[in-house]
């Protein structure tokens, strides 16, 4: 369920929104790339672009995600709020 919601929210990133992944340990991840490989349905893969231009890829268990925030929207998304 959370994977499907994140896929839907992620479509707004292409329109300029920012996505924040809040983890249960209080950490925050602001990813640039997201993948949910079928071979690993319990985990999501996120990539973050570092200041030097390289990328860091992190696998996070869905159960570790406490909250997902979609920021920098000009208005509430109609696909979510009708």
- Which tens digits make up the pLDDT trace of 50-64? 999 999 999 999 999
User: Whole-number mean pLDDT of the chain?
Assistant: 93
Provide the total of helices (H) and of strands (E) in the chain, helices listed first.
Answer: 2, 6
Helix residue spans in the chain (DSSP H)? 2-10, 78-81
Model-level pTM?
0.87
Evaluate whether 66 touches 4 at the Cβ level (below 8 Å): no
* Percentage of the chain lying above the pLDDT 70 cut: 100
């Amino acid at each position: 369920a959370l994977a499907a919601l994140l896929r839907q929210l992620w479509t707004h990133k292409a329109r300029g929104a920012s996505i924040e992944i809040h983890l249960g340990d209080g950490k925050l991840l602001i990813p640039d790339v997201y993948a949910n490989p079928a071979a690993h349905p319990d985990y999501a893969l996120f990539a973050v672009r570092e200041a030097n231009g390289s990328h860091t890829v992190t696998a996070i268990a869905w159960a570790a995600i406490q909250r997902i925030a979609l920021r920098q929207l000009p208005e509430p998304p109609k696909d979510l709020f009708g």
